């Protein structure tokens, strides 16, 4: 089904592209949110990335995974925006939707506050990493991709993936410890 939608999209069928993207909207938004750090910028970057994907769908190679191809577009869109901003610190948008799965925790103000504070510290620490550093940490530790998948997405050797993750985990740990 997805391969049919991809082919129809490549052939210029807008409705097929819209159908195809429905299942990837959350995926695209989550990547953009982790890179940008707030909902407003994530919405903008997700929208911009989807427009770029539509305009360049004809470049998609069937031997690659669509999600990997789409991921590269989202990451490049976010990186370009962050490069434009350079030193601008992105404010952290508060989120309430993913705070707790446990019913008791959802209604305990202290737990909600502590989780929001921790998420805020982690996002601010992520924002202090280089774009490449943030990218590998988001892919591995937040989105759960394997080293092989990350290497494929970023088109880098697995050894480079491992060293970037290791180096940036240490940097992230140091940033978080300095906050305490």
CA distance 147 to 164: 11
Res. 112 pLDDT band, cuts 50 70 90:
confident
Band (pLDDT 50/70/90 cuts) for residue 4 is confident
For 89-93, what is the mean pLDDT?
A: 39
Residue 167 is predicted with a pLDDT of 93
- Distance from first CA to last CA of the chain, Å, rounded? 50
Model confidence at 1, in pLDDT bands (50, 70, 90)? low
CB contact at 8 A, 77 and 49: yes
DSSP 146: -
Residues 45-90 have pLDDT tens digits of: 999 999 999 999 988 887 778 888 998 899 889 888 887 876 444 4
Q: What is the pTM of this model?
A: 0.62
What's the mean pLDDT when you consider all of the chain? 81
Q: Are residues 7 and 35 in the same domain?
A: yes
Ranking 3-7, 39-43, 112-116 by mean pLDDT, the lowest is 112-116
Of residues 177 and 89, more confidence is placed in 177
Q: Which string of DSSP letters, residue by residue, matches 92-113?
A: PPP--TTS-SSHHHHT-HHHHH
Last residue of a domain, one of 69, 89, 109: 89
Here the CATH number for the domain that contains residue 140 is: 1.10.10.10
Q: Does residue 117 contact residue 148 with C-beta atoms inside 8 Å? A: no
Pick the more confident residue, 165 or 124.
165
Do residue 73 and residue 140 come from a single domain?
no
- Residue 94 domain-assigned (yes or no): no
Sign of CA dihedral 43, 47, 52, 58: positive
Q: What gap in Å lies between CA 89 and CA 129, rounded to an integer?
A: 12
Q: Which domain holds residue 44?
A: 1-89
Q: Which two tokens stand for residue 68?
A: 């990997």
Q: Is residue 109 domain-shared with residue 80, that is, in the same domain?
A: no
**Residue among 55, 58, 80 at smallest CA distance from 6:** 58
Q: Given 65, 89, 113, which residue is the final one in a domain?
A: 89
Note whether 163 and 133 are within 8 A (CB). no
Q: What is the pLDDT of residue 132?
A: 87
Q: 77 and 122: one domain?
A: no
CB-based contacts of 113, cutoff 8 Å, min separation 6: none
Q: What is the pLDDT of residue 157?
A: 93
Any residues with CB less than 8 A from the CB of 4 and at least 6 apart, and which?
16
| CB-neighbour burial class of residue 69 (10 A; exposed 0-12, middle 13-18, buried 19+) | middle
Amino acid 91: pLDDT:
39
Q: Are residue 64 and residue 136 in the same domain, yes or no?
A: no
Query: Do 105 and 56 form a contact (C-beta atoms < 8 A)?
Result: no
């Amino acid at each position: 089904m997805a391969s049919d939608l991809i082919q129809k999209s490549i052939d210029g069928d807008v409705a097929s592209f819209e159908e195809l993207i429905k299942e990837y909207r959350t995926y695209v938004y989550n990547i953009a949110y982790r890179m940008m750090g707030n909902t407003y910028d994530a919405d903008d970057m997700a929208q911009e990335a989807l427009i770029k994907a539509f305009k360049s769908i004809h470049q998609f190679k069937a031997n690659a995974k669509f999600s990997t191809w789409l991921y590269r577009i989202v990451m490049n869109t976010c990186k370009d925006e962050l490069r434009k901003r350079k030193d601008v610190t992105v404010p952290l948008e508060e989120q309430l939707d993913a705070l707790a799965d446990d019913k008791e925790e959802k209604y305990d103000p202290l737990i909600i506050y502590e989780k929001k504070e921790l998420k805020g510290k982690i996002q601010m620490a992520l924002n202090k990493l280089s774009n490449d550093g943030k990218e590998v940490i988001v892919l591995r530790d937040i989105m759960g991709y394997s080293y092989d998948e990350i290497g494929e997405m970023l088109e880098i050797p697995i050894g480079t993936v491992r060293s970037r993750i290791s180096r940036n985990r240490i940097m992230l740990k140091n940033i978080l410890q300095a906050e305490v």
